[in-house]
Structure 1
Amino acid sequence: MPRAEVVICGAGIAGVATAYHLTVKQGVKGVVLVEQGEPLMLTSDKSTEAYRNWWPGPDPAMIALMNRSIELLEQIARATRNQIHLNRRGYVYATADPSKIPALCETAQHTAHLGAGPLRIHDGKGPGYLPASAYGFEGLPDGADLITQRALIRSYFPYLSPDTVAVLHARKAGWLSAQQLGMWMLEQARAQGVRLLRGKVVGVDTAGGRIAAVQIEQDGSSQTLETPIFVNAAGPMQKEVAAMIGVDLPVFAELHLKMSFPEPLRAVPREAPMLIWMDELELPWSPEEREVLAEDESTRWLLGKFPPGAHCRPEGQGESTTLIALYNYHTKPVPPVFPWPADPFYADITLRGISVMVPGLRPYFHRAPKPWIDGGYYVKTQENRPLIGPMPVEGAYLIGALSGFGVMAACAGGELLAAHIIGNKLPEYAPAFLLRRYQDPAYQRRLEAFGDGAQL
């Protein structure tokens, strides 16, 4: 029987990062990556490719994980002359609701205290605000800037709604090329002997309570790989793969779509940061459109309130005019299916949603360039924290529940899982991401304190 020392199910960004850290950083030999399709092409290339260390929550675990991941991203950027196109433009959270300012300030102070960096308040009395650089990541501030002086907001963000009363600019944040990052790590890993096996994991064998072999289907035939270590990095199929060894993961999936389109009017400047609208909204329909929508029960819901979280950012360099926009207004759990179901309203709702934040986008309502819509599944836990570490079967490991933050967490997540596998010293944040945390009654009591898990 052919043998591998480690079999990783899934060559998305999480599986690739795990292979990279096992082989390139730790010298492990005999690693096999099993992927049914092309590497990094199922959900990893459907993301916003963004990152942030701004993770409000009850403890510092997520911030510590992201700080480490960003540190590793910056190391790769320096080693490759920024082949991964890392920037630090930041995330700008904006609101037109004055009643939100006290809570926003309180949350920002707490998040800064947890390790996200200092909070600078600009209310007309504090120090000056330093705009983000459009390119690069060196020598820029971390932490966050909270601006409540409306004249300052209009000065630096004139394209935001004139009703905006506060913006929080999280600074240790930005975006990168996820494809470049993933392919660079994959190439480095393959140079150290990682084998990419095209096929589907259809079974996992155990013997004496531990992993013994993995069954793989390839082009109608099957083979069995003997192995003592199996890694579930199956992305949207992680729950299904865990069931092969009798483990029921406490995760569920949400379908999240993404739209990109040419934006030649440049209503969102090309040097803009990620922009997020924090308020509920009503879509801006004309009186005639409202009348038509109200006539039919199947469209009447489009006149109601929509949740916070519409966000967008510019994409590309040089002459590019592309804008990426996301608005996840449906978040009911769904079973992952491919191809994912189309949403005929998504483009119109998303464009109108982000136009509440950026009114300059409204001319596109009736002459919008043809959008490109793709998406993927956010597989998440109740509190929106990942699962990284051993599973209940000896020799089985998991890196999953990376719901929408797989690209930004992959480097530190892969490093952490590699440490679990080879028995290295674990970082302080490691226990926060173990599957067995749900067996702790004290943790169960804490779950409500996580709120929305800082999800976008």
Structure 2
Amino acid sequence: MHDASAEVVICGAGIAGIATAYELAVTHGVRGVVLVEQGDPLALTSDKSSEAYRNWWPDEAMVALMNRSLDRLEALASDHALLLNRRGYLYVTLDPVGAEQLHASAQQVSAAGAGPLRVHGAGGTGVPYVPASAHGFADQPDGADMILDRALLQRNFPYVTEQAVAALHVRRAGWFSARQLGMLMLEQARAAGVQLLRGHLSGVDVVGGAVRGVQVDLANGGTTKIATRALVSAAGPLQQTIGAMLGLKLPIYNELHLKLSFNDQLGIVPRDAPLLILNDPVVLPWATEEREALAEDPALRWLLDPLPAGAHGRPEGGPGATTLLLLWDYHTTPVEPIFPLPVDPVVSEVVLRGMATLIPGLAAYLERLPQSYIDGGYYTRTRENRPLVGPLPVEGAYLIGALGGFGLMAACGASELVAAHVVGASLPAYAPAFDLRRYDDPAYMARLAQWGDVGQL
């Protein structure tokens, strides 16, 4: 016996779920969309991100999805409502071999459709380097600038270490307000008839291999059953739980990613800086006494080992702000999601030491670590870091997930794709690359065994 009915039920009001509700109700005019969320919209992981975006990805399908997503994001941001900028991502290397690898990778990504590659320095294209504007995105360059001229690099980014030998400035990239995007889409979705139901999806009725309804434990007590023939799982790090209700084991896993923010009272990183990324592995600098103490502690001995590339950060806030965001995913072991998040007690010092390799001025904070605010979330990923967007093996069940680390930037494109599956609209050429059925293709699985760079930060 069902208490209500819905055309489509969406589980999860993070950015993926909200964007899907928007697509179904606003774009396609679907009525009877119910969005189920036990907490506040966007509050589980979406509002914990660095809010950054880029179209710079290592394969054609991801570039195509992101280009489409960013086209739609920019349309929503056209009145400056989302505070979207195009300052870019600056990948920096201190290693001549790393510079060659960065250049080769940039050529491949450019060829995949991410935009032209302009080279500055030896063998350059002769096109002048154009610094990024601190605000807005209109009339800004796309593609990327490969900076091999160290003097040019220092003139434009004097706070970066003089040991840097090259940098790649990705230009269709920057950041925006995640909360403003989410609330804009949610407001329009609700105006188009979407119902936000506060509760926990506790069961799925599957009859004859097809979805026929869901059960929701309401936040204010009690349980309701909703008859529906379409369920979209947008449950973020809890996707596996919804999969189990459908009798499925999904090829995804979760990683814990933490974000550090603190008051850059010394003004080490300029307020108009891009997202800054150290593209090299790092051996953290320790004093002799510190090294000896760490070597004797089995729980901390790993701090002497080389840590992976990817330490990154950016300034946060408008005029007068002094906040600096820093992130470095030096632990990527798959974990089960638990809330509240477990926090690594050494994360502040480790991330600051790593970023000081790229921005030496930050070492001034190591003598007395600043008070930091730490949050973050779980990256839900597939092995090859492509999302899962499309139908599941149970009729009427759909998934928009495995968006770990790029959910905000991909939301407008991925939601468009899953909505097209739900309503039976035409699909873009890249759709099969994100369909769960790709794992049934022997050729894809053979390629997966050789998969290289997945573009994760």
- TM-score (norm. length: structure 2): 0.97
Extract unaligned runs of 5+ from structure 2: none
What is the DSSP-based 3-state SS (H/G/I as helix, E as strand, rest coil) of the residue aligned with 1:306? coil
How far residue 366 of structure 1 moved from its aligned partner, in angstroms, is 1.9
Aligned letter for 2:214?
V
Aligned to 1:89: 87
- Quick one: which amino acid aligns to residue 157 of structure 1? F
Is residue 233 of structure 2 the alignment partner of residue 239 of structure 1?
no
CA shift for structure 1 position 407: 0.3
What letter is aligned with 2:380? V
5+ residue gaps, structure 1:
none
Q: Work out the CA distance in 1 between the residues paired with 2:88 and 2:363.
A: 25
Instruction: Give the C-alpha shift of residue 369 in structure 1.
Output: 2.3
The equivalent of 1:423 in structure 2 is 424
**TM superposition shift of 1:200:** 0.3
Deviation at 1:292, TM superposition (A): 3.2
Alignment partner of 2:299: what SS? Answer: helix
Q: Report the equivalent of 2:77.
A: 77
Q: Secondary structure at the match of 1:297?
A: coil
For 2:150, the equivalent position in structure 1 comes to 150
* CA-CA distance at 1:9 after TM superposition: 0.3
Instruction: State how far apart, in whole Å, the 2-side matches of 1:89 and 1:351 are.
Output: 22
Tell me, yes or no, if structure 1 residue 268 matches structure 2 residue 269.
yes
Three-state SS of the structure 2 residue aligned to 1:161 is coil
Query: Is the contact made by 2:99 and 2:167 (CA closer than 8 Å) also made in structure 1?
Result: no
Following superposition of structure 1 onto structure 2, how do residues 373-388 of structure 1 map, counting pairs within 5 Å?
Answer: 373-388=374-389
CA distance in structure 2 between the partners assigned to 1:235 and 1:278 by the alignment: 28
Count residues with an aligned counterpart: 452
What's 2:7 paired with? 5
Structure 1 counterpart of 2:23: 21
Q: 2: CA distance between counterparts of 1:279 and 1:303?
A: 16
Partners in 2 of 1:256 and 1:168 — Cα distance?
24
Counterparts of 1:294 and 1:63 in 2: how far apart (Å)? 43
**Structure 1 outlier segments of 4+, above 4 Å:** none
Partner of 2:252: 251
Shift of 1:64: 0.5
**AA aligned opposite 1:9:** C
Matches of 1:151 and 1:384 in 2, distance apart?
36
Residue of structure 2 in register with 1:211 after alignment? 211
Q: Which residue of 2 aligns with 1:67?
A: 67
1:50 aligns with 2:56: no
Q: Which amino acid aligns with 2:191?
A: A
Aligned to 1:118: 116
Query: Could you tell me how far apart the structure 2 residues matched to 1:66 and 1:419 are?
Result: 17
Q: Which is further off, 275-284 or 438-447?
A: 275-284
SS at match of 2:5: coil
Q: Counterparts of 2:453 and 2:336 in 1: how far apart (Å)?
A: 21
Look up the SS of the partner of 1:115 in the other structure: helix
CA contact (8 A) 2:98 2:280 kept: no
Q: What residue identity is the alignment partner of 1:18?
A: T
Other-structure match for 2:39 = 37
Pairing of 1:112-191 with structure 2 (within 5 A): 112-123=110-121, 125=124, 126-191=126-191
How far off is 1:451 after superposition?
1.6
SS in 2 for 1:281: coil
TM-score normalised by the chain length of structure 1: 0.97
- Partner secondary structure for residue 347 of structure 1: helix
Helix, strand or coil at the partner of 1:419:
helix
Query: What CA deviation, in whole Å up to 9, does each residue of 1:125-184 have, x standing for no partner?
Result: 522111110000000110000011111111111111111000001100000000100010
Q: In the TM superposition, what is the alpha-carbon distance from 1:207 to its structure 2 partner?
A: 1.7
Would the aligned equivalents of 2:54 and 2:172 in 1 still touch at CA under 8 Å? yes
* Cα shift readout 1:217-262 (whole Å, capped 9, x = no counterpart): 0144211000010000000100110110111100011000000001
Q: Secondary structure at the match of 1:305?
A: coil
Q: Deviations over 1:21-45 (max 9, x none)?
A: 1011110000000001000000001
Amino acid at match of 1:301: W
Render the CA deviation track for 1:327-360: whole Å, top value 9, x for unaligned: 1010010011111212101111011111110001
1:53-111 Cα offsets, whole Å, 9 max, x none, are 00013xx1100000011101110011xx2111100000010000001222222211111
Partners of 2:320 and 2:188 in 1: CA distance = 32
